[in-house]
């Protein structure tokens, strides 16, 4: 969905990492009805971008997120299918070698998604441990396009220096980069580097996707209600680890939320939108879609944004860096 006013053009994507993830999100097949409702509500409310990956889903459920989306798409009207973009990510596992290393995984993703695949992203950079492999993966995607498959190319977990190199590499193949996806939030590490990536994207007309904008739900926790949450052991451990260090930031989010009569989640997402990012918000329930869709109805003021910036800078403990993110 797009929203345009004098200052902010907004688009928000539906993130599906939790769909099939037992370890962190306690996924059960009994959740599928709720996920179906989430999907349909998102489409009904104008969301037009859905992000997934071939690695989403733990253990035997690997690829579950794509499979669920493919299943839900079967009951989606042709008009809605045309309006939405499905963006997946292919993992550059060590056994996917050479300039044909993505062939099988691409075809499997295409099959799981029932031939609805608009953006194919390299899930993470191999620059730190196998830089030549990264270029071969991109060549592989270019070759698939030359063979007649119809999609656009994206990157994920990429730094500014590597991004410039890969943009040039694609241009040699007469291909353009559609999107870049990185960790971007009020608690994201290396925000200076992230902003450099954003600048390069703006200069090259590349969509800038912000993943983990709510920091696994940390930014949604009421600062006055820090009791243990009903979730997995891993998420509770994460909340406990960040509870004290994020208290002032969450208090600031709540104060703005109360003044606006909105949720803390909406404030945190609007911080991303204020900067022209396209946040990918993980949602598993219809109620979450309804809440986040209200972000399109209002914008942060400059004073509110600057206040959040200041409190964020003073928050000494940031989210962990992705070890595969390049420089």
Q: Which residues are catalytic?
A: 56
Q: Which of 284, 298, 186 is nearest to 242 (CA)?
A: 186
* Contact partners, residue 82, CB within 8 Å, separation at least 6: none
- CA–CA separation, 129 vs 134, rounded Å? 10
Closest CA to 156 of 55, 271, 41, 32: 55
**CB within 8 Å of 256: residues ≥ 6 apart:** 267, 300, 304, 307, 308
Instruction: Quote the CA–CA distance of 58 and 18 in Å, as a whole number.
Output: 10
The CA distance from 216 to 46, in Å, is 24
Q: 9-10 and 3-4: which strand pairing? A: antiparallel
Please provide the DSSP assignment of 180-241 as one string.
EEEE-STT-S-HHHHHHHHHHHHHTT-EEEEE-TTGGGGGGS-TT--PPPSS-HHHHHHHHH
Residue tagged 């730094």 (tokens): 159
How far, CA to CA in Å, does 319 sit from each of 158, 211, 239, 241, 247? 17, 12, 11, 11, 14
Cα distance between residue 183 and residue 198, in whole Å:
11
């Amino acid at each position: 969905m797009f929203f345009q006013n004098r200052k902010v053009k907004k688009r928000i994507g539906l993130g599906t990492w939790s769909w099939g993830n037992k370890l962190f999100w306690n996924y059960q097949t009994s959740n599928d009805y709720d996920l179906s409702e989430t999907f349909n509500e998102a489409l009904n409310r104008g969301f037009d971008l859905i992000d997934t990956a071939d690695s989403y889903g733990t253990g035997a459920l690997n690829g579950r997120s794509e499979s669920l989306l493919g299943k839900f798409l079967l009951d989606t009207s042709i008009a809605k299918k045309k309006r939405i973009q499905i963006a997946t990510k292919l993992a550059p596992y060590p056994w996917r070698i050479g300039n044909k290393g993505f062939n099988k995984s691409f075809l499997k993703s295409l099959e799981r998604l029932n031939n609805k695949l608009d953006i194919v992203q390299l899930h993470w950079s191999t620059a730190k441990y196998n830089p030549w492999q990264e270029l071969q993966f991109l060549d592989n995607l270019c070759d698939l396009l030359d063979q007649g498959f119809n999609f656009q190319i994206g990157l994920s977990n990429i730094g500014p220096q590597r991004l410039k190199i890969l943009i040039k590499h694609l241009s040699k193949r007469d291909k353009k980069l559609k999107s870049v996806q990185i960790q971007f939030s009020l608690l994201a590490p290396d925000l200076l580097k992230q902003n450099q990536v954003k600048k390069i994207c703006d200069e090259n007309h590349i969509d800038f996707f912000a993943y983990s904008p709510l920091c696994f739900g940390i930014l949604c926790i009421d600062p006055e209600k820090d009791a243990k949450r009903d979730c997995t052991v891993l998420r509770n451990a994460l909340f406990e680890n960040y509870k004290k260090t994020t208290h002032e930031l969450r208090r600031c989010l709540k104060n703005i939320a109360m003044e606006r009569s909105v949720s803390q989640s909406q404030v945190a997402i609007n911080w991303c939108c204020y900067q022209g990012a396209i946040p990918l918000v993980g949602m598993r329930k219809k109620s979450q879609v309804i809440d986040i869709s209200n972000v399109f109805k209002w914008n942060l003021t400059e004073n509110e944004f600057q206040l959040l910036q200041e409190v964020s800078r003073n928050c000494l403990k940031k989210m962990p860096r992705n070890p595969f993110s390049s420089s």
